Structure 1
Amino acid sequence: MKLTSAGRFGLADLRLALAAPRPAAGLTSEWRRVDGLRTHTRRSTDPGTGAPPIVLVHGLAVSHRYLTPLAVALSATNPVYVPDLPGFGLTERPRGAYDVRAHAEHLAAWLAAYRLPPVCLLGHSFGAEVVAALAAVHPDLVRAVVLAGPTSDPDARTRRGQVGRWLVDTLREAPLQAPILARDVWDARPWRVVATLSHSVRNATEADLVRVAAPTLVVTGERDPVVPAAWRDRVARLVPDARPVTVPGAAHNVATTAPTAVADAIRHLLAPAPALTDR
């Protein structure tokens, strides 16, 4: 399935992404202690539609900031939450770098702290590995899953292989995303980024994907060098109830540069099935 093409990332998007902890565009910041860590969440107001909450989980080296365009695009219809994982963004930094399992358990504890009903979980890049691990172990917490640009392809499952693909991706992304990445790497510290990358390439995400029971979308950009078509299609085959979605023109950061297209795909995933009527 293909969606409408990617949009642009401009100065207004950059200012909004860097706004936290100040309120902006209906998004506010709050902190709760989760498993001993002061955990930051950027969240929208509840639009009162009765639609399920959507939780956006960021990728490696980054934070809630680059997912802000998607949070705003979804906030008109759904309550949206964007937590910063331990050590990233505005969340407290633990001494060590969490692996995929530790991040997934922290996210499960975060869901318990917010007392949310089963949610739609979107994970981007490394966040998709975290979401897959959580959905595999805690299926009762998950209503639907969106794996956006899921890492890591076994054909490049090394630090060198992933870095090489990310460097190619930087040439295909909107340039104004660079200040967000610089801020996020500074917040996390470079050593944590490298250590988390090592955890990612050692994570056999296939074992989690086959256990994801919730309806799932696998969303990638048409020009994503980190997640080539072959890996995207394999991810969609591994998850029992999944379908692939491609956004024309987008690269790896599809959730940032194509927020409207991704939001529309999520709403379609969450839409109630048409009622059967007698003819």
Structure 2
Amino acid sequence: MAELRLAMAAPQPAAGLTSEWRLVDGLRTHTRRSPDPGTGAPPVVLVHGLAVSHRYLTPLAVALARTHPVYLPDLPGFGLTAHPAGTYDVAQHTAHLAAWLRAYRLPRVCVLGHSFGAEVAAALAARHPETVRALVLAGPTGDPTARSRRTLLGRWLVDTLREAKAQAPILLRDVWDAGPRRVAATLSYSVGNAIEADLVRVEAPTLVVTGARDPVVPPAWRDEVARLIPHARTLVVPGAAHNVATTAPAEVAAGVRRLIADTSRVLDG
């Protein structure tokens, strides 16, 4: 119940996280953020997946906030961000995220995308490399063997049987906020997105994270994602399913910190 209250708290402050809105490319965009811990560590930006919002990523945000400033923007049409006239595809979400980074005037960030958010994060790293210091792809969708709505939905159905039941109210709230039509259209854009074209262009050091019980991202696709990116490593969390960023925040946060530390040694000498 404590995690549920934390996830549903916005826009009220909770566990050090606060909400704010900024106009980004004409769209009132909501961001949940942590205070700067004063460590001098680079910011971490968490990008949510399809049909959801910042809410389910709050456990990971709290885990990272001890050492890093953490930002959780709601993508256009999701969470507490305003609804654009149409549904954004991967390219439009990526452009909006790049504009969001400019609005916040952040230095190069570590961006973590989960599920569909990993598709957006990979596109950001490929198309706007000057903004990304390190990249984390958690449960990245885009498996060529699941490029149909029916196959992908089937995998997600299996995953629901492996996830914590407490996540259901959060998912239902997020689907209500976005609307079923936007969720369905975004699913179609995900299925049609050839993520491989972005993966081979990623220059930032990358961590590919999956749960050992994730039916959405099977081991063959996880390994292929890591193979396509020149500087990638993998992390498999035992016992976790697709929502590894939610159900294993300590393990994922530790992996993110190791990646950033290793990247800093290379970039900063």
TM over 0.5: yes
Count of residue pairs the alignment pairs up: 266
2:40 and 2:21 map into 1 onto residues whose CA distance is 25
| Matched residue SS, 2:184 | helix
The TM-score, its normalising length taken from structure 2, stands at: 0.97
- Using the size of structure 1 for normalisation, the TM-score is 0.94
Tell me which of 67, 71, 91 is aligned to 1:77. 67
Give % identity. 76
Alignment correspondent of 1:242: 232
**1:230–1:117 distance in 2 versus 1, CA, 3 Å:** same
**Does the 8 A contact of 2:113 with 2:138 survive in 1?**
yes
Q: Which residue of 2 aligns with 1:197?
A: 187
Kindly indicate whether residue 203 of structure 2 is the aligned counterpart of residue 208 of structure 1: no
Deviations 1:221-279 (A, max 9, x none): 00000000000000000011001110000000000000000000000001157979xxx
Q: What's the CA shift string for 1:106-145, capped at 9, x where partnerless?
A: 0000000000000000000000000111110110000000
Partner of 1:66 in structure 2? 56
Question: Which consecutive unaligned segments of at least 5 residues does structure 1 have?
Answer: 1-10
Equivalent residue, structure 2, for 1:56: 46
Structure 2 counterpart of 1:3? none
**How large is the RMSD of aligned CA atoms in angstroms?**
1.2
What stretches of structure 1 move > 3 A for 4+ residues in a row? 272-276
Please list every run of 5 or more consecutive structure 2 residues that lacks an aligned counterpart in the other structure: none
Q: 2: CA distance between counterparts of 1:115 and 1:95?
A: 27
Q: Secondary structure at the match of 2:32?
A: strand
Give the conservation status (yes or no) of the 8 Å contact 2:205–2:263.
Answer: no
1:47 aligns to what? 37
Matches within 5 A, 1:258-277: 258-272=248-262
1:62-115 deviation per Cα after TM superposition (whole angstroms, max 9, x unaligned): 000000000000000000000000000000001211000000000000000000
Q: CA 1:234–1:273 in 2, change beyond 3 Å: closer, same or farther?
A: closer
DSSP-derived class of the 1:82 partner: strand
Partner residue in 2 for 1:180:
170
In the other structure, the counterpart of 2:9 is 19
Which of the pair has the greater relative contact order for Cα pairs under 8 Å at 6+ separation? 1
